[in-house]
């Protein structure tokens, strides 16, 4: 048994009616999706491994990113 807010239950009932399914089926689908996601609390070693594996794998088309990374970062958060 789970406790839902009135708003959550109302939205679930509406979605279930739209899809022609039950609220229980929607909840099971959501739980399945949540359990299939990678663990959010990856260890420090795992995060380091992922960061190292990603380094250099993407190309921006810019030739001065290493020198101007702070500028590019600042520009990206201002948008």
Task: Report pLDDT digits (tens) over 38-53.
Answer: 666 778 888 899 999 9
pLDDT > 90: percent of the chain: 48
Residue 45 domain flag:
no
According to DSSP, residue 64 is labeled -
Q: Domain of residue 27: give its range.
A: 6-36
Confidence (pLDDT) at 78: 83
SS3 2: coil
Residue 51 belongs to some domain of the structure: no
Q: Does 74 map to a domain? A: no
The pLDDT of residue 61: 84
This prediction has a pTM of: 0.47
Q: Is residue 20 part of a domain?
A: yes
How many domains does one find in the chain? Answer: 1
Q: Which residues of 31-49 are buried (b: 16+ CB within 10 A; e: fewer)?
A: eeeeeeeeeeeeeeeeeee
Amino acid 18: pLDDT: 94
Mean local confidence (pLDDT), 53-68: 86
SS3 63: coil
């Amino acid at each position: 048994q789970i406790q839902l807010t009135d708003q959550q239950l109302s939205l679930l009932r509406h979605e279930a009616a739209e899809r022609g399914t039950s609220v229980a089926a929607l909840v099971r689908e959501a739980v399945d999706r949540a359990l299939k996601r990678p663990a959010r609390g990856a260890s420090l070693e795992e995060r380091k491994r992922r960061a190292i594996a990603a380094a250099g794998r993407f190309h921006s088309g810019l030739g001065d990113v290493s020198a101007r990374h702070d500028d590019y970062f600042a520009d990206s958060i201002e948008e």
